[in-house]
């Protein structure tokens, strides 16, 4: 056996991580994403100017565009705030999409059961059912994690597909609209089960305001309360959390129930807001996109409002560019992926440096 020194790349943590720089990286990531998009458009044979204009600018020029931005951002913000809570505590709930779906099923069930009822308590009941649905669905990974130490990333992710299939089963079967020409969808909800609209002529519903309130509440919770303190400690220094007597099990449950419950609420708002009924796909991947939103917002609830708006723009811009310049719909996904990649990459460069060094140096 012979060991030879070789020149290799060595990755070393930087001695001081610049805090301001950590707040600049999301902006850098957005800029890099746009630039890469530019190159991408050129290679795909689109005029880059108009394509970018219709993707990023024109949606913001009309009141309707802005209201749509809020409508799309609301679920991202609601879910993102919940996920960020868990991510701070090193609880990796990747299955918000499934919890959103379960919340929608539970709330939709209430709406259908109370179909035609005019009581003002229908909506609050739906919200409660939605939160409970999402939280209960997140309780499965929480139980498996705390009881058997099963990785929550896998369980929460895999359960997402189960939830989607459950929803399909319902809308293709028992909950199908009897007067719906056999389309796989439920009856349209009656008025009492629909979120009030804030701005006539748009789809801007009350849920968007609730999303902002949730972000503020999340900020207060994480910054000023003892629970938030425990979440931060357990994420930054698990040994210190044990030293302080914080219950790891309790915090895992709490984080999963909060993020699951909020995802369920977001699902409720979708079906009681823009959709108005149960359909096989209640979300265009909000639960997954919210993971990007949480990180882009630096896991800070107020940052998540901003990043939620940015990611919402990618949805609307994608649709807009599809209509105006004929870009394929996949571009939306590509942009979201690029954004996450650039964010993680620039974070990495801020935290570490890469050196060419002999691999054997002691």
Partner 1 sequence: MARDGLNTDRASPRLEVKGVSKRFPGVLANDHVDFAVRAGEIHALLGENGAGKSTLVKIIYGVLQPDEGVIFWDGRPVSVADPRAARRLGIGMVFQHFSLFEAMTVLENIALGMDGGTDMRALAGRVSEVSQAYGLPLDPHREVHTLSVGERQRIEIVRCLLQNPKLLIMDEPTSVLTPQEVERLFETLRQLASEGCSILYISHKLHEIKALCHHATVLRGGRVVAECDPAVETATTMAELMIGHEVGTIARRAGGGGAVARLVVEGLDQRPKTVHGVALHNISFEVKGGEIFGIAGVAGNGQSELMLALSGERLVHHGEVIRVDGQPAGRLSAGARRRLGVCCVPEERNGHAAVPAMSLTENTVLSGHHRLNLLSSIFINSAAARRFAEKVIKAFDVRTPGTAASAGSLSGGNLQKFVVGREILQAPGVLVVSQPTWGVDAGAAATIHQALADLARDGAAIVVISQDLDELLAITDRLAVINVGVLSNALVTAAADVAEIGLLMGGVHGLDAHPAPRGAGAAHAS
Contacting partner 1 within 195-254 (CB under 8 A)? 224-227, 229, 232-233, 236-237, 239-240, 242-247
CB of 241 to partner 1, least distance (A): 9
Among 4, 178, 191, 356, binds partner 1 (CB under 8 A): 4
- Binding window for partner 1 (CB under 8 A); candidates: 3-11, 127-135, 185-193, 196-204: 3-11
Min. distance of Cβ 100 from partner 1 in angstroms? Answer: 27
To the nearest whole angstrom, how small is the minimum distance from the Cβ of residue 10 to partner 1?
12
CB-nearer residue toward partner 1: 35 or 237:
237
CA–CA separation, 223 and 232 (whole Å): 9
Could you tell me how many residues of this chain bind partner 1 (CB under 8 A)? 26
CB of 358 to partner 1, least distance (A): 7
Between the CA atoms of 335, 339, 345 and 346, what dihedral angle is there, to the nearest 10 degrees? 130
Residues 299-328 binding partner 1 (CB under 8 A) are none
Nearest residue (CB) to partner 1, 44 versus 244 = 244
- Cβ 228 to partner 1 shortest distance, Å: 8
Binding-residue pattern over the window 330 to 359 for partner 1, x denoting contact by CB under 8 A: ----------------------------x-
**In angstroms, what is the C-alpha Rg of the chain?**
22
User: 270, 290 in Cβ contact below 8 A?
Assistant: no
Q: Does 147 bind partner 1 (CB under 8 A)?
A: no
Give dist(CA 343, CA 333) in Å, integer: 15
Q: Is 240 exposed, middle or buried (0-12, 13-18, 19+ CB in 10 A)?
A: exposed
Rounded to 10 deg, the angle between the 63-88 and 96-113 helix axes is: 120
Question: CB-wise, 88 or 203, nearer to partner 1?
Answer: 88
**In the complex, what is the shortest distance from the CB of residue 247 to partner 1, in angstroms, rounded to a whole number?**
7
- From the list 7, 179, 356, 361, which residue makes contact with partner 1 (rule: CB under 8 A)? 361
- Provide the minimum distance between the beta carbon of 240 and partner 1 in the complex, in angstroms, as a whole number: 5
- For partner 1, the closer CB: 165 or 355: 355
In whole angstroms, what is the distance from residue 362 CA to residue 358 CA?
A: 9
Calculate the CA 272 to chain-centre distance: 19
Nearer to partner 1, 61 or 237 (CB): 237
Contact 175, 181 (CB under 8 A): no
Handedness of CA 98, 259, 340, 90 (dihedral sign): negative
Residue 284: strand, helix, or coil: coil
Least spacing, CB of residue 249 vs partner 1, in Å:
11
Question: Closer to partner 1 at the Cβ: 6 or 179?
Answer: 6
- Please say whether the dihedral angle defined by the alpha carbons of residues 278, 279, 280 and 284, taken in this order, is positive or negative: negative
Tell whether the torsion through CA atoms of 304, 307, 313 and 315 is positive or negative: negative
Nearest to 33 by CA among 326, 292, 354, 285: 292
List interacting residues with partner 1 (CB under 8 A). 1-5, 224-227, 229, 232-233, 236-237, 239-240, 242-247, 358, 360-362
């Amino acid at each position: 056996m012979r060991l030879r020194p070789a020149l290799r790349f060595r990755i070393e943590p930087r001695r001081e991580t610049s805090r301001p720089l950590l707040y600049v990286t999301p902006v850098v990531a957005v800029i890099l994403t746009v630039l890469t998009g530019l190159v991408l458009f050129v290679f795909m044979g689109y005029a880059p100017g108009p394509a970018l204009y219709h993707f990023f600018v024109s949606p913001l020029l009309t009141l309707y565009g802005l209201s749509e931005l809020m409508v799309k951002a609301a679920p991202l913000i609601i879910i993102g705030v919940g996920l960020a809570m868990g991510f701070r505590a090193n609880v990796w709930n990747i299955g918000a999409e499934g919890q959103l779906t379960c919340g929608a099923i539970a709330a939709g069930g209430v709406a259908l059961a109370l179909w035609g009822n005019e009581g003002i308590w229908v909506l609050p009941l739906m919200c409660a059912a939605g939160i409970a649905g999402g939280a209960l669905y997140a309780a499965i990974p929480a139980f498996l994690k705390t009881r058997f130490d099963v990785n929550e990333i896998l369980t929460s992710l895999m359960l997402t597909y189960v939830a989607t299939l459950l929803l399909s089963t319902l809308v293709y079967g028992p909950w199908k609209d009897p007067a719906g020409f056999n389309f796989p969808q439920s009856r349209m909800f009656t008025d009492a089960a629909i979120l009030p609209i804030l701005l006539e002529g748009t789809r801007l519903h009350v849920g968007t305001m609730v999303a902002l309130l949730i972000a503020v509440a999340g900020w207060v919770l994480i910054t000023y309360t003892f629970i938030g303190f425990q979440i931060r400690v357990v994420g930054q220094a698990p040994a210190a959390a044990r030293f302080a007597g914080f219950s790891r099990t309790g915090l895992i449950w709490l984080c999963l129930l909060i993020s699951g419950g909020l995802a369920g609420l977001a699902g409720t708002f979708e079906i009681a807001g823009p959709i108005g009924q149960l359909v096989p796909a209640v979300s265009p991947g909000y639960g997954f996109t919210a993971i990007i939103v949480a990180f882009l917002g630096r896991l800070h609830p107020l940052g998540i409002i901003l990043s939620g708006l940015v990611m919402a723009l990618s949805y609307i811009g994608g649709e807009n560019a599809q209509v105006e310049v004929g870009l394929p719909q996949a571009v939306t996904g590509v942009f979201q992926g690029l954004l996450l990649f650039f964010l993680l990459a620039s974070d990495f460069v801020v935290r570490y440096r890469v050196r060419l060094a002999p691999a054997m140096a002691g």
